Amino acid sequence: MIGSLPPLILGLSLLPLALVLAFVLVAKALVLAASLSARHGAWRISRACARAAPYLLDSRYGGNLAFLFEADALREAGRIQEGAALAKARLAEKNVPAWIRNVAIDILISAGAYQTALSAEPPPSIPIRAHDALGLVLIQINLAEADYNLGRWDAAEARLRPLDLACWRFPIARAGLLQQRAWIAAHRGRAAEALEICALVKPRWLPLIFRAEYHFTRAAALLAAGRTDDAEVALSEGETLARRLSSKRNALFLRARVVAARGDWVNTERLCREAANHAFRGQGGTGLLLWAQALNQLGRPAEADEALRLVSQRDPESDAATAATTHSSAP
């Protein structure tokens, strides 16, 4: 019996168990530290923690975590093309789980690689675990963004239409679905509908790093309704919450839309120029088109043409790039 063993022998027999327990606790603490760091925008810390994950966890799960935080860290450092290359490499592997496939697709869309993101859509399947179910529905929500950036607004709405039941179990998916619908409605001039949808969203459904986007969506809906002052208030609320590099850049372009709605082309140009020079260089074609418009309004056509060329360089797959090729003001 264990109780009859000498204390030294008993201690030695329990040592392996203590080491295993300590190892498990360290691994869990590492994952928690990476998650909390990412949640609060401390990308370098989350990346450093995650790089140790493959050595402390199951190699596949640890490798997936390392990819997630590495890809996010690259995006938040403004190295979006490196992040996209990492995403493509991960998607080329076999048996990529849905939650990691979603991360890769999200990175590709941030980089403006909309066609590649759409080609990574998994075939229909019945998820076994909640993690997979969430990953599959987030993929569809993200791919709707790829659709409408390509100018396929009907396709984006159709993609989102059947997702309610799948989303309702997961607050982040619920919020994402509603926000995408509101964004599309605002873009298509259905302001009242967009505002009604926004009113259904609870900001707490979103992790802190994504919460700014809720206020940006409301700002876009209010702009569509012609409520410029209210849009500015919503935008300011989003700016105070912005943690991600892309959110901060997008806030500049959105504020440029607000001042453009007031006919203030000097400040529209200034804000668009600041956004164009921002460290985040993914997407943004629509904002660059606005920059060109502002420059033309200010009688600076040569600079406007430079802005139009930048649309094709920065966001070449977008419908904004197609529009840019038809709007050159130079003879």
Q: Which tens digits make up the pLDDT trace of 64-118?
A: 878 888 888 899 888 999 999 999 999 999 889 999 999 999 999 999 999 999 9
d(CA 236, CA 242): 10
252 belongs to a structural domain:
yes
213 in any annotated domain: yes
Alpha-carbon distance of 185 to 134, in angstroms, equals 24
State mean pLDDT over 290-296: 97
- Of 31, 51, 77, the last residue of a domain is 77
Residues 58 and 70 in one domain: yes
Q: What angle in degrees, to the nearest 10, is found between the helix axes of 130-149 and 98-110?
A: 20
Q: Is residue 1 part of a domain?
A: no
Residues 253 and 298 reside in one and the same domain: yes
Residues 151, 155, 157, 163, Cα dihedral to 10°: -140
253 and 176 share one domain: no
Q: Which of 11, 43, 77 is where one domain is finished?
A: 77
Between vectors from CA 220 to CA 205 and to CA 217, what angle results, nearest 5°? 10
292 and 279 within one domain: yes
pLDDT digits (tens, 9 = 90+) for 157-169: 999 999 999 999 9
CATH number for the domain spanning 311: value is: 1.25.40.10
239 and 287: one domain?
no
Confidence of residue 51 (pLDDT cuts 50, 70, 90): low
Asked if residue 128 is part of any domain, the answer here is no
Query: Alpha-carbon distance 73 to 223, whole Å?
Result: 32
Q: How far is CA 203 from the centre of its chain?
A: 16
Residues 29 and 47 in one domain: yes
Q: What mean pLDDT comes out for the span 38-61?
A: 57
Note whether 249 and 324 are same-domain residues. yes
Cα(271)–Cα(255) distance, rounded to whole angstroms?
7
Mean pLDDT of the chain: 86
**Cα Rg of the chain (Å, integer):** 23
Tens digit of each residue's pLDDT (9 = 90 or more) over 194-208: 999 999 999 999 999
Please check whether residue 47 lies inside any domain of the structure.
yes
235 & 267 share domain = no
**Can you give the residue range of the structural domain that contains 212?**
170-243
Structural tokens at position 274:
């600041």
DSSP three-state, residue 48 = helix
> What's the structural domain count of the chain?
3
Same-domain pairing of 226 and 291: no
DSSP 209: G
Q: Between these two residues, 132 and 326, which has the higher pLDDT value?
A: 132
10 pLDDT tier (thresholds 50, 70, 90): low
CB proximity list for 178: less than 8 A, separation 6 or greater: 197, 198, 200, 201
Q: What is the mean pLDDT of residues 41-54?
A: 58
Stretch among 92-96, 125-129, 187-191 having the lowest mean pLDDT: 125-129
| Boundary-marking domain end, from 243, 278, 300 | 243
pLDDT score of 19: 43
**Residue 119 maps to a domain:** no
Question: Would 110 be classed as within a structural domain?
Answer: no
Asked whether residue 30 is domain-assigned, the answer is yes
